[in-house]
Structure 1
Amino acid sequence: MAEQYSLPDVLARLYENQLAIEAALMELVLLEEKRGSSEACDNARVALDTIGENAGHIKQGIARLGRSAGTSE
């Protein structure tokens, strides 16, 4: 049977994926800015801002879930 992961573990991995996607998107934005494509970069920067704004909330929520899971066992 496959190993079961706790909700905080799964969410932590999703959070790590989000950070990786953010970093990759930023690399593409920087590359595209050098080529002069400002409209696409502006749109991508709006998405990056949203990712950045949500990252702290997600991290705090995961930490809270982890503490809750640890005390209920």
Structure 2
Amino acid sequence: MPNYSNANIATADALTLLLHNQHAIAAAIEEVTKWLSKNGVGSVAENALAAMETLDGNAKNLSEAITRLRQI
């Protein structure tokens, strides 16, 4: 059976970078959401919170995929 460990490591490394980007985007959205809430744009802030929830859910799935790849 061929050894896919190098491919798995490369894939896990790439996914890790994407996950770090995703965390940075979530942090930026959180800051914008706070500003929107303080400046009376609550409906837009609610949409931003929904986007953050999506990012959080996807981050969890990415983390699990990275862990599985690193275990193979």
TM-score normalised by the chain length of structure 2 = 0.82
Which stretches in structure 2 are left out of the alignment for 5+ residues?
A: 1-8
Whether 2:71 is the aligned partner of 1:67: answer yes
Whether 2:34 is the aligned partner of 1:30: answer yes
Instruction: Map 1:12-51 to 2 at 5 A.
Output: 12-51=16-55
Runs of 4+ with deviation above 6 angstroms: none
* Partners of 2:45 and 2:19 in 1: CA distance: 23
Which stretches in structure 1 are left out of the alignment for 5+ residues?
A: 69-73
TM-score normalised by the chain length of structure 1 = 0.81
- Name the amino acid aligned to 1:22: A
Q: What is the alpha-carbon root mean square deviation over aligned residues?
A: 1.2
